[in-house]
Amino acid sequence: MRIDIVTLFPEMCENVMAESIIGRARKKGAIQVCCHQIRDYAYDKHQRVDDCPFGGGKGMLLMAEPIALCLDDLTEQLGEKPHIVYMSPQGQTLTQQKVKELARCDSLTLLCGHYEGIDERIIEAYVDEELSIGDYVLTGGELPALVVADAVSRMIDGVLSDTVCFEEESHFNGLLEYPHYTRPACWRGRGVPKVLLEGNHGAVERWRREQSLLRTFRKRPELLEHAGLSARERADLDRLAGSSEMEN
């Protein structure tokens, strides 16, 4: 898969995507990430890419033409139009399900706005969808784009060591992930659940599923509505929730 980030700050994006798991995956060719400087497509000697909005108001707006030229050039390089996502606080909120959908794209382009945003005509002419990482406003689209790029990248074959690395994580199957422990077995008077130390893999799997159900019930109960639980799992959850309330 190829991810392109169209931005005023390609160095910032490149620095993040060159590190850790994603950086190693790029080096071995599991995923390709390319960052593009919008200013390279400006048409004056000062590389100006912003202007005042029509109708007045505070702040500056990214002009349509430099962005359009960049996206046109990218489409020509790829041989086809990529799926273009504009990072915007007005967009659909990012979820793990959306990440799964984006991971199926052959080519994904993330467009980063700045200042007061971008000329609306770019959204009309080029953008396939708008995405937000939460109901708040940042100074630019770079951090949201990096969140999307990271989340999507780790779903691609060869980026993580095994698919189980993400299949058991929070939100992948609609539930929150079970708790984890490592050595020492006793830390400052706090022990590790006994079942994890006994070597019974079947018991461990059952414990993890129960903990996942219970953790979701305690922290994000609204997720259970769409988790597709079986009748047995719902019965287990009722039992676990009842026991939890008695303990409290």
Domain chopping of the chain, boundaries: 2-153, 170-247
pLDDT at residue 166, rounded to an integer:
47
Homologous superfamily of 2-153: SPOUT methyltransferase, trefoil knot domain (3.40.1280.10)
What is the tens place of the pLDDT at every residue in 69-88? 999 999 999 999 999 999 99
pLDDT category at 226 given cuts 50, 70, 90 is confident
State whether CATH 1.10.1270.20 applies to domain 170-247: yes
Per-residue model confidence (pLDDT) at position 243: 75
- What is the residue-wise DSSP string for the chain? -EEEEEES-HHHHHHHHTSHHHHHHHHTTS-EEEEEEGGGG-SSTT---EEPPTT--SS-EE-HHHHHHHHHHHHHHHTSPPEEEEEEEEEEEP-HHHHHHHHT-SEEEEEEPBTT-B-HHHHHHT-SEEEESSSS--SBSHHHHHHHHHHHHTTSTTTSS-THHHHTSTTTTSSPPPP---S-SEETTEEPPGGGGS--HHHHHHHHHHHHHHHHHHH-GGGGGGS---HHHHHHHHHHHHHHHHH-
- Mean residue pLDDT of the chain comes to 92
pLDDT in tens, 22-49: 999 999 999 999 999 999 999 888 899 9
pLDDT at 44: 84
Residue 242: its pLDDT value, please?
82
| Least confident segment among 55-64, 106-115, 225-234 | 225-234
pLDDT at residue 248 tops 80: no
pLDDT tens readout for residues 124-179: 999 999 999 999 999 999 999 999 999 999 999 999 866 544 455 555 578 899 99
Do 170-247 and 2-153 have the same topology in CATH?
no
pLDDT of amino acid 165: 46
Residue 64 amino acid letter: A
